[in-house]
Structure 1
Amino acid sequence: MKTQYIILSLIIFCNLSLQAQQVTIPIETQNSAVVLQTDNNKRLKIVYTGKSLKNSADYAGTEKVFLLNSQGAASNNNAFTVAGIDNNFTEPAIAVVHVDGNNSLDLLYKSHNITATADGAILTTITLKDPVYPFFVDLLYKTWKEEDIIEQWTSIYHEEKGEVILNKYASANLYLYNKDYYLTSYNGSWAREMQPVETHLRQGMHTIESRLGTRENLLTSPNFMLSLDGKATETTGTVMMGQIAWNGNFSLQFETDVYKNLHVVAGINPYQSVYHLKPNIPFETPRFVYTVSFEGVGKGSRNMQNWMRNHTLIDGKGDRLTLLNNWEATYFDFDQEELVALFKGANELGVDMFLLDDGWFANKYPRDHDRAGLGDWEPNHKKLPDGIPYLVKEAGKQGVKFGIWIEPEMINPRSELYEKHLDWVLRQDNRPEIYFRSQLVLDLTNPEVQDFVFGIVDNLFTENPELAFIKWDCNAPIFNGHSKYLEKKNVPQSHLYVEYTRGLEKVLKRVRQKYPKVPMMLCSGGGGRTDFSLFRFFTEFWPSDNTDPLERVFIQWNSSYYYPAMTMCNHVTNWSNKPLKYKVDVASMGKLGFDIKVNELSEADLAFCKNAVANYNQFKHTVWHGDIYRLMNPYDNDFASLMFVNDAKTEAVVFNYLTNWRYVAETTIRPIKLQGLDPSKKYKITEINLYENQREFIDPTVIYSGDFLMKVGINPMINLSRTSVVLKIQAI
């Protein structure tokens, strides 16, 4: 009996000793948690993902409730999966070749620290080390408590005597203890951006990736939406939403394992990007940004948008400029007096700015079409004999600001720059050049090219201090991937894709250091660039060259899951035959612009546009800074309805659009239940943007309670004669 007591005591003592050595690290936001914990061998595991617990001490016990004992799957929940050891059968987050040629890796917990950052977040840094080699990986988690956002990335470094080859180097590795996963990703092409595809994930691998080098989300977006435990709706269910914030080749891998748990690996796409890492120089990966909502997709959207406005987006709490653009009015065919005549139209509309688009530059090879001139950034003497300063001055006389289009990363073979600096172009000497939209890409790995691209912006502002806006375009992917600069520096060509993106960021940092306030639009043949990393430098983006308002309802709807309305540039154009009111109403659901010849508008059309701009100026801050609620999904219904509500819940704007133009479309059958209002407040509803003598169906004298509007709703009376309806809601 005494021997049994001694043995039992030893077992208890050993268990207590092991527990004492165990390290538990919760990564928490206000509502969600990812919990990391060491095992008996100092391997760091992901032991819990889900709702945050009230008592942090309870996280230590979460590992015990999951039984992960399937043969060959003991490493599935490793915090950072590795290649090269036998007990890992899942997709690795990192794969290396050491200086001695060994391609194995093991990562054990070494230490961690938690600090508060100057911008109001909590940063957790966990250091892992190989027990055999002086090779380290820091796992970094930056949490934004109020917004329920986690940014996750890695820093990889070593102290070996030579270069370690990185074959794969992910930003994030996650392990989710849910089941029945539905992944929404976004595919498309030019003018068909952000087309959603839902995939029911079964056991195996599903990958979202880009290999274009630049314009990285022309065909595939870095955004994703992952419903956990079955399909989420706008207001119910558990959903993870986010993106890999990298303006280059990316990869998102979703692997459902034998337990029906989900393993996620996200980061730079290792496609042709083997990286040779020198000792004591950390390789920092891009941020993987995500939120988890337990209240449906709508809450996830509001998390992402609030985080962007508060912490990432340039001037996220400020204003945006409404504008008149000349592109669809003139294309390449204009002169300076024709442009000056358009300034008057901007003044008549009441917009803030005139934007001069493509075609204003180059002389030896004039930019009269898209096949020549890119790279030669001097004003065309024939079109603009008095240069850009004259236009800025004339715009000012009309009371409007002046902005300009550039595409500084690209070059046409028919250009003086190509003739003088062929070594600045990404191209293969011994192969035919491959063009995309008659363009090649400049080599931004080269510091001289970085200086040149920065100089394009700097020269414009030096000559024109009152310049108010830059539209930065990027239309060509990298088809001719070879860098003369890397070749001369004896740097492997497999560094090209990574160093190009880093080179672009260096240029943009210089621009923002010298010109911190100027608004800049991301444009890339439409929505080809929308990753969060670039919104540190840009105030807005162009979602698509497709300005058909019906198509824009869907494109802007899908973009709204991830981006605030103030970032989305929406223009009224002549693209389609939809009513002018429909076009203006759709464009008002973001940052409003016009791309028309104002002097060709009828008297009634001009009066409507001027009134719509005046209305927009009254409600734009609610759209730009308010919470979004998507009420009726156009993919499931014959019309779309969404609303924006200000923080005080005293004002809201509801946009309603017909999307099925058949007579049998179901639109006016039942009311729409609103969201986000204060149930105890009283509200009046006014229909705005009425065209000429259009009848108002909403009685502005009726007072509603917020409770009524959210439980019973309001019928906007959408039909073939009222194809778009904008409602302004104000608290009494």
Structure 2
Amino acid sequence: MRISHHIRLTASLLIILMISGLKVSFAQSIIPLETKNNAMVLQIGDDKVLRTIYNGPKLRNAKEYAIVQGVQRPDTDYTGQLSSAYTPSGSRNLFEPAISLTHSDGNPSLELKYISHTVEKVDADVSLIKINLKDPKYTLELTLFYKVYVKHDVVEQWTKIVNGEAGDVVLHKYASANLYLEGNAFFLNQFHGDWAKEMQSEETKITHGIKTLDSKLGTRANLFQPPIFMVSIDKPAGEDEGTVLFGGLEWSGNFRTDLELDNQDNLKIISGINNYASDYTLSKGKEFTTPKFLFTLSTKGKGQASRNLHDWARNYKLLDGHGNRLTLLNNWESTYFDFNEQKLNGLIKNTKALGVDLFLLDDGWFANKYPRNGDVAGLGDWEENKEKLPNGISSLVKTAKENQVKFGIWIEPEMVNPKSRLYEQHPDWVIKQPKREEYYFRNQLVLDLTNAKVQDFVFGVVDSLFIKNPGLAYIKWDCNAVIYNAFSQTLADQSHFYVDYVQGLYNVLERIRKKYPTVPMMLCSGGGGRVDYAALQYFTEYWPSDNTDPLERIFMQWQYSYFYPALASANHVTDWGKQPLKFRTDVAMMGKLGFDIVVAGLNEKDLAFAKQAVINYNRVKDIIFNGDQYRLANPLEGSVASMAYISKDGEKGVIFNYLVNNRYGSRSRASIPIKGLDPTAKYVINETNIYPGTISKIVSSREYSGDFLMKVGFNPDLDQSRTSVIVEIRRIN
């Protein structure tokens, strides 16, 4: 990149002005965005084009950012825009743009020139940098936002586009972020899946051209591919070594991330809303703000990157990120749709006997004209089914209170069955195309959240439940269908549909949270079809997958854990899989614990174990929720999986160990080094969650130095008779 280095103000003066929050003029040519360990440095060229000149570990001397480009000899940049901080299209750019539009006079080209920038100190840890750009020939303005979380090495980036032209401007592409990375090679770790097969990982070397990660599903957009990814620089990063960038779009609809390796062998990452079928028209004076794109850079491997995100999410993004989470008993796998008030009252009593906090009533409690006795009817008719619940939900809430447990309920308010009163009364509320046959996903269609009346209806579903049942303590919000035949019967511009649908969803969730700010809600979407940090601002937890086979969940929860902290992962003990109850329970404890089993059907030892497991979990859950997470033994690389949660002060921890290979002779042969301890301290290790009648092989009186445990390690002694072992570690000096 041949970029002019005429520095009009020293970097030190720039930093003084940034801290003061003053508006910065073009006279300053370097804009460093520094976190605790990293820096992304932008430069204003003599041509007023804003470019990225550095993205890597923070330099000790900020003045030296200005000479970074002077020590490199790149190939020719024919465009002068390869390293653009936000690449426009239609003029001299030859590569993938971040923004593409048509001006009000029909001109499809765009140039972006630096005007000014400001820095606002949000708090001691957070700064918000706003950079104003403008087309020199048109009154089209753009603001790049960078929210820098210094302590957590996390940056959020987004864009605001303002039309000051006399007529309409049509946005064809409008990305949130445009990153530029230099390196010798790049390796993409992406995720894919399907129902019950979420978060399958694959890593490949990035070759020249464009690799696109995207979704066009409309809702439940993560079904086949989530909007999160990793890019390793120079070589594939390990858990504790290598340079790696974690990225993800905070958006609950169609997304698109382009990764383009250019002719200089550098990598451009452009991410935002998917512009598929989504040209967006801005009339005069209107503006469009993109969703946030988040990223963190680690030079110490994937483990540090994930802990960056975990701390950031708990502090700034997750709803009630440092709060408690309710353990629960769900009725779904014990009754499915076949229940009545008497059965549910019995399950509520089982909830109390098990020792968990809450009973969750799942699908099937509603609709009368078309009773919800299966997934073919009733969705959209949110009145209690009189045959199943003659005394209504309020009677169940009362029974729960009498048994000293809380009560929660399942809803799927964005959806409708064609066989429902709602569909008959409001066919114009349903997403479907004229002149096309309806096409169903799980026998249902999606309601049109671009319609304000539908937004009122969906809010009313939740609001009426709380009004009628003030003791209601939990919502499981499901979303099982994707959008087929996308069309709104009330929207003026159909190309706005996919964007306005998600914004309509957020409008509803904003209203719910304004009125009910603290009620826990699970983000469920036929499994993990809608897991992103935009949605998780409104929900306390997410449902990773409908696949609750504990062996499968070890692998899924492992992959999710790179991006999301454990307290956000809702894990239930069910009858999926062939593993014993202990194995199933141990796996579910690596997050927010729930049960979805027939408690009355447990034998004496299983019931005793389950009750004690809840007690054990309540003792250690604060470490799981708020401690540092360390992946110790990768199930993809051997017969053992091991995951540790260590308190921030290194005083205590809990380590989950599993045998994931059933072949003859499989066991934990080697010791597993532990991480996050104080090397100068002494520790003891004892086994917990022991099944009744078994004796632990762990010698709880033995003392270890932190140095020994981190360099040599500890063997949980797994074998085919002992497939799941949880140990607690405690500092004794």
TM-score with structure 2 length normalisation? Answer: 0.96
Deviations 1:417-472 (A, max 9, x none): 00000011111121100110011110101111100000000000001111110000
- Per the TM alignment, residue 15 of structure 1 is displaced from its structure 2 partner at its CA by 6.2
Look up the SS of the partner of 2:490 in the other structure: helix
Equivalent residue runs for 1:231-380 within 5 Å: 231-380=236-385
What is the distance in 2 between the residues matched to 1:37 and 1:324? 56
Letter in 2 for 1:557: W
- 1:62 corresponds to which residue? 68
Is it true that 1:702 corresponds to 2:688 in the alignment?
A: no
What is the distance in 1 between the residues matched to 2:246 and 2:605? 44
Is it true that 1:551 corresponds to 2:552 in the alignment?
A: yes
Equivalent residues of 2:640, 2:668 under 8 A apart: no
What is the distance in 1 between the residues matched to 2:217 and 2:9? 49
Equivalent residue runs for 1:553-632 within 5 Å: 553-632=554-633
Go from structure 1 to structure 2 and tell me whether the alpha carbon gap of 1:17 and 1:153 turns closer, same or farther (over 3 Å shift): closer
- Per the TM alignment, residue 69 of structure 1 is displaced from its structure 2 partner at its CA by 4.0
Letter in 2 for 1:152: Q
- 1:8 corresponds to which residue? none
Equivalent residues of 1:18, 1:40 under 8 A apart: no
Equivalent residues of 1:137, 1:154 under 8 A apart: yes
Equivalent residue runs for 1:97-246 within 5 Å: 97-117=102-122, 120-246=125-251
Look up the SS of the partner of 1:696 in the other structure: coil
What is the distance in 2 between the residues matched to 1:90 and 1:68? 17
Equivalent residues of 1:68, 1:74 under 8 A apart: no
What is the distance in 2 between the residues matched to 1:119 and 1:516? 26
Match of 2:49 among 22, 43, 54: 43
Equivalent residues of 1:22, 1:39 under 8 A apart: no
What is the distance in 1 between the residues matched to 2:51 and 2:8? 19
Is it true that 1:434 corresponds to 2:470 in the alignment?
A: no
Q: How many residues align?
A: 713
Decide which moves more: 183-192 or 14-23.
14-23
Look up the SS of the partner of 2:534 in the other structure: helix
- 2:499 corresponds to which residue? 498
What is the distance in 2 between the residues matched to 1:668 and 1:104? 62
Go from structure 1 to structure 2 and tell me whether the alpha carbon gap of 1:16 and 1:303 turns closer, same or farther (over 3 Å shift): closer
Look up the SS of the partner of 1:484 in the other structure: coil
Look up the SS of the partner of 1:48 in the other structure: strand
- 1:11 corresponds to which residue? none
- Per the TM alignment, residue 74 of structure 1 is displaced from its structure 2 partner at its CA by 3.0
What is the distance in 2 between the residues matched to 1:252 and 1:186? 13
What is the distance in 2 between the residues matched to 1:82 and 1:676? 45
TM-score with structure 1 length normalisation? Answer: 0.96
Equivalent residues of 1:631, 1:674 under 8 A apart: yes
Match of 1:32 among 35, 38, 47: 38
Is it true that 1:80 corresponds to 2:72 in the alignment?
A: no
Equivalent residue runs for 1:414-453 within 5 Å: 414-453=419-458
Letter in 2 for 1:64: G
- 2:724 corresponds to which residue? 724
- Per the TM alignment, residue 575 of structure 1 is displaced from its structure 2 partner at its CA by 1.1
- Per the TM alignment, residue 118 of structure 1 is displaced from its structure 2 partner at its CA by 5.3
- Provide the alpha-carbon RMSD of the alignment: 1.3
What is the distance in 2 between the residues matched to 1:590 and 1:17? 52
- Per the TM alignment, residue 71 of structure 1 is displaced from its structure 2 partner at its CA by 5.2
- 2:21 corresponds to which residue? none
Equivalent residues of 1:24, 1:36 under 8 A apart: yes
Is it true that 1:659 corresponds to 2:663 in the alignment?
A: no
- 1:4 corresponds to which residue? none
Deviations 1:164-185 (A, max 9, x none): 0000000000110112111111
What is the distance in 2 between the residues matched to 1:304 and 1:22? 32
- Per the TM alignment, residue 664 of structure 1 is displaced from its structure 2 partner at its CA by 3.8
- 1:92 corresponds to which residue? 97
What is the distance in 2 between the residues matched to 1:603 and 1:158? 69
Go from structure 1 to structure 2 and tell me whether the alpha carbon gap of 1:227 and 1:702 turns closer, same or farther (over 3 Å shift): same
- Per the TM alignment, residue 57 of structure 1 is displaced from its structure 2 partner at its CA by 2.0
- Per the TM alignment, residue 65 of structure 1 is displaced from its structure 2 partner at its CA by 2.5
What is the distance in 1 between the residues matched to 2:210 and 2:235? 18
- Per the TM alignment, residue 63 of structure 1 is displaced from its structure 2 partner at its CA by 2.6
What is the distance in 2 between the residues matched to 1:441 and 1:661? 43
Equivalent residues of 1:22, 1:40 under 8 A apart: no
- Per the TM alignment, residue 730 of structure 1 is displaced from its structure 2 partner at its CA by 1.1
Decide which moves more: 117-126 or 224-233.
117-126
Look up the SS of the partner of 1:306 in the other structure: helix
Deviations 1:685-730 (A, max 9, x none): 1101111121211100111111111111110011100100000111
What is the distance in 2 between the residues matched to 1:707 and 1:575? 40
- 2:650 corresponds to which residue? 649
Is it true that 1:687 corresponds to 2:687 in the alignment?
A: yes
What is the distance in 1 between the residues matched to 2:124 and 2:529? 29
- Per the TM alignment, residue 583 of structure 1 is displaced from its structure 2 partner at its CA by 0.2
What is the distance in 2 between the residues matched to 1:592 and 1:15? 58
Equivalent residues of 2:8, 2:29 under 8 A apart: no
- Per the TM alignment, residue 17 of structure 1 is displaced from its structure 2 partner at its CA by 7.1
What is the distance in 1 between the residues matched to 2:635 and 2:187? 20
- Per the TM alignment, residue 55 of structure 1 is displaced from its structure 2 partner at its CA by 2.1
- 1:409 corresponds to which residue? 414
Structure 1: tracts of 5 or more residues without a match: 1-13
- 1:7 corresponds to which residue? none
Look up the SS of the partner of 2:68 in the other structure: helix
Equivalent residues of 1:345, 1:599 under 8 A apart: yes
Letter in 1 for 2:523: L
What is the distance in 1 between the residues matched to 2:441 and 2:202? 27
Letter in 2 for 1:266: S
Structure 2: tracts of 5 or more residues without a match: 11-25
Equivalent residue runs for 1:498-517 within 5 Å: 498-517=499-518
Equivalent residues of 1:293, 1:299 under 8 A apart: yes
Letter in 1 for 2:280: Y
What is the distance in 2 between the residues matched to 1:16 and 1:683? 55
Look up the SS of the partner of 2:104 in the other structure: coil
- Per the TM alignment, residue 16 of structure 1 is displaced from its structure 2 partner at its CA by 7.4
- Per the TM alignment, residue 632 of structure 1 is displaced from its structure 2 partner at its CA by 0.4
Equivalent residues of 1:242, 1:562 under 8 A apart: no
Letter in 2 for 1:720: Q
Letter in 2 for 1:427: K
- Per the TM alignment, residue 242 of structure 1 is displaced from its structure 2 partner at its CA by 2.2
- 2:676 corresponds to which residue? 676
Decide which moves more: 549-558 or 685-694.
685-694
What is the distance in 1 between the residues matched to 2:725 and 2:285? 61
What is the distance in 1 between the residues matched to 2:636 and 2:79? 40
Equivalent residues of 1:182, 1:227 under 8 A apart: yes
Equivalent residues of 2:7, 2:66 under 8 A apart: no
What is the distance in 2 between the residues matched to 1:236 and 1:503? 42
Letter in 1 for 2:181: L
Letter in 1 for 2:47: N
Equivalent residues of 1:38, 1:45 under 8 A apart: yes
- Per the TM alignment, residue 668 of structure 1 is displaced from its structure 2 partner at its CA by 2.6
Match of 1:392 among 376, 391, 397: 397
What is the distance in 2 between the residues matched to 1:348 and 1:727? 26
Decide which moves more: 64-73 or 213-222.
64-73
- Per the TM alignment, residue 21 of structure 1 is displaced from its structure 2 partner at its CA by 4.4
Go from structure 1 to structure 2 and tell me whether the alpha carbon gap of 1:693 and 1:90 turns closer, same or farther (over 3 Å shift): same
What is the distance in 1 between the residues matched to 2:615 and 2:459? 37
- Per the TM alignment, residue 68 of structure 1 is displaced from its structure 2 partner at its CA by 3.6
